[in-house]
Amino acid sequence: MRLTFLGTGTSFGVPVVGCDCAACTSEDPRDHRTRHAAAIDLAGGCLLVDTPPELRLQLLHSKIDSVGAVWFTHIHADHVHGIDDLRVFTVRGRAALKAYVASEYHEPLSRYFRYIFDDSVAPAAGSSKPRAELIPFDAGEALTILDETVVPVVVPHAQVRAYGLRVGRLGYVTDAKTLPDAAIEAFRGVEVLVLNALWFGKAHSAHFTIEEAVEASRRVGAKRTYLTHLTHRVTQRELDRLLPSGVHAAYDGLSIEI
């Protein structure tokens, strides 16, 4: 199994518009972070995690030319508003993409992007639209996706919930504030754990700090942990120096084998 980090930034991305901090002016390409997305190569194809605004650029950067299914962690704008970029995969005559979303988000996502999910809405002559089938799921309910067993894992994200996943020896979470006991148990035995983390220090109401993510990783006991959804308050060089053994800062385009 291969995991590719397509985007590792927060909703602002890095550089942040109008900012001249060390990360935003860095010449290290690893400090240039687009909004969150990842690609997981499974037995039956590529599972895309989220569709951020920069999706087209991310796919080109990582040379991904095929997507077999999509997993939505939740429906905040930075995780879904690049959904139209799926169109390229469905205009080639293939069947509609299966797009997996938590049951609680099925109706609002269908409503936000009615032009995609309502078959009665036809594109104008000469144009096209993504073709996708929304498939609702519930936390803990094992699914078969692209010939692999995938288990949704729910985590708190301020007033809402996000849905990570466990597939094989990979545990993947973004936009979590804590890992509840059920999530810890769901991730037991993973080789690689992915967690969101903003910065060092001051607590945030919706996301892990780096210290909190490191502690959550310790509780799970993963051999390797990769941090994503990082802000411009930390540079890759600082993270390489300060993170403990076994914990790494992901960056856009990083690809690892599991």
Q: Where are the domains of the chain?
A: 2-250
Q: Are 71 and 165 in contact (CB under 8 A)?
A: yes
Q: DSSP assignment of 152-211, as one string?
A: EEEEEETTEEEEEEEETTEEE--S-S---HHHHHHTTT-SEEEEE---SSS--SSS--HH
pLDDT of residue 126: 82
Q: Does residue 59 contact residue 32 with C-beta atoms inside 8 Å?
A: no
Question: Which helix (DSSP H) or strand (DSSP E) does residue 143 occupy?
Answer: strand 143-145
Superfamily of domain 2-250: Ribonuclease Z/Hydroxyacylglutathione hydrolase-like (3.60.15.10)
What are the tens digits of pLDDT across the range 69-104? 999 999 999 999 999 999 999 887 667 999 999 999
In 3D, which of 199, 245, 254 has the Cα closest to residue 222?
Answer: 245
pLDDT, tens digit, for every residue of 103-135? 999 999 999 999 999 989 988 888 889 999 999
Instruction: Tell me if the pTM is above 0.85.
Output: yes
Alpha-carbon distance values, 183 to 31, 71, 104, 113, 216 (Å): 30, 18, 18, 30, 10
134's tokens: 């929304």
- Looking at residue 158, its amino acid is A
Contact 241, 210 (CB under 8 A): no
Extract the residue ranges of the chain whose pLDDT is less than 70: 93-94
